[in-house]
Chains A and B, each alone.
Chain A
Amino acid sequence: MDEQTLKISKIKDGTVIDHIPPGKALRVLSILRIDDHVENSISIGIRVTSRRLGTKDVIKIENRDLEKFEVDKISLIAPDATISIVSNYEIIEKFPVELPQRILGIVKCSNANCITNMKEPVQGEFSLLSKKPLLIRCNFCERTMNEREITASLI
């Protein structure tokens, strides 16, 4: 861990989301539905120096585990992020987020004329076409969506 990250205090129990692209931390907080009613203690580093990325964002959340769908959503806007699970100041598990091949129920199709945007009993469902640049395809209307469109259409 480099010096800049150390400026953010360690957490006792909870989750660290590291290697978030610079400036995207606020977007990650919104994915985690962290708003002004938050009860956990949270540290956020924006544009801190990183050996690997140059600059990065990092988020540390006390007493919070992430659900799979939340990790999947984070992977769509921060595909190189790593998640550390901390217990009693120790990292007990660390893993990179992974873009799922099938993206289910976390993105709304950006094609307004797609049948999945109607009152039908289906969730948005996409296939991952490419990681870099990020490109996914709706399994219903076959329309592709790029990173900008995906970010605007996260549920």
Chain B
Amino acid sequence: MLRNKSVVSINDIGDDELSEIFKTAGDMEKVLRSGRSLELMKGKIMATFFYEPSTRTRLSFESAMQRLGGSVISVSEAKSSSVAKGETLADTVRMAEGYSDIIVIRHPMEGAARLASRFTSKPIVNAGDGSGQHPTQTVLDLYTIRKELGEISGKTITVVGDLRYGRTVHSLVMALSRFNAKVNLVAPPILKMPDHVVSMLPADFHLNMTENLSDVLPETDVLYVTRIQKERFSDPNEYQSVIGSYKINLETVEAMKEKSIIMHPLPRVDEISPDVDSSPKAAYFRQANNGVPVRMAIISLILG
């Protein structure tokens, strides 16, 4: 199924493959809980190229490979690597092909991982390309919803925050359109989801765009919060007003259904008040913890 395939976009993962990843990730979670060590990827090497800063994604990919018994080689900063010497990404990838069995790339430009996959026969995993795709984050988001609420189909997912530049939400909304889910997109006009993403969604998808979070809170099963970056605003007052209107606090939690959850791809800054963390609805740290078993599943299915 996923064997030897590159995972660049969420659309590269078919429905059957997604179910297979969910099942394998569940198995991996059991292994992690039991403390057993695995040797599935013994002798295999993963190369990671992070041309953009990342903590969570990078650590969870590297942890996943090592938990599977494989090893990791990495280039952490573009400025210390061949890119600084003017090498193309195409050449970098052709070089890395000889050093590794699977290549993980994060890059500030959209389409970088797809380009990389054209220049090597080794599988490429996209760990985020500019404001483009972040498919493994999407898989772990879907896995989290499924694990927390039992299923994705029939649920109402409200996505709030930076829907314009946030790559995790582009992938996520595209993926949710494959399930029978309803999606509310809540953002100020300046950060609303771009037309080029909306135009990719099926016409019969239950999509509702609004600026008002409180209107949709009572029907929400999953509140997916994303970080609003200050640098996106030319007017600091506008930033303050947007941040103020979308801040998630205990009052927001109260307005939500009893069996609902709050997710966030992290890192968060001011979007969720820390006193929400102790609510059973706060699922964002559990979500982050799912990153390792989900990536273990993806790596082992690609290289299996």
Q: Which residues of A contact B (CB under 8 A)?
A: 109, 111, 113-116, 118-122, 135, 137-144
Contacts and interface: CB of A to CB of B under 8 A. Distances in A.
Contacts, number: 61
8 contacts: A111-B110, A118-B88, A120-B90, A137-B200, A140-B110, A142-B9, A142-B111, A142-B114
Interface stretch (B32-40, B130-138, B218-226, B238-246): B130-138
A54 B196 CA distance: 33
A93 B111 CA distance: 41
Nearest to A138: B111
A114 B200 contact: no
Given A114-B111, A140-B115, A143-B110, A119 B88 contact: yes
Q: Which of B9, B114, B129, B200 has the most CB of A within 10 A?
A: B114
B89 A115 contact: yes
Nearest to B111: A140
A144 B200 contact: yes
Interface residues of A, dominant DSSP: loop
A144 B110 CA distance: 13
A138 B114 CA distance: 11
Given A111-B110, A118-B109, A120-B88, A142 B199 contact: no
Contacts of A114: 109-111
B155 interface: no
A141 B88 contact: no
Interface in B94-128: 107-112, 114-115, 118
Interface of B: 9, 88-90, 107-112, 114-115, 118, 129-133, 196, 199-200
A129 to B, nearest CB: 8
Given A115-B129, A120-B88, A140-B111, 8 more contacts: A113-B109, A113-B130, A113-B131, A114-B110, A115-B115, A135-B199, A137-B200, A140-B114
Contacts of A116: 111, 115
B174 to A, nearest CB: 9
Contacts of A135: 199
A142 to B, nearest CB: 6
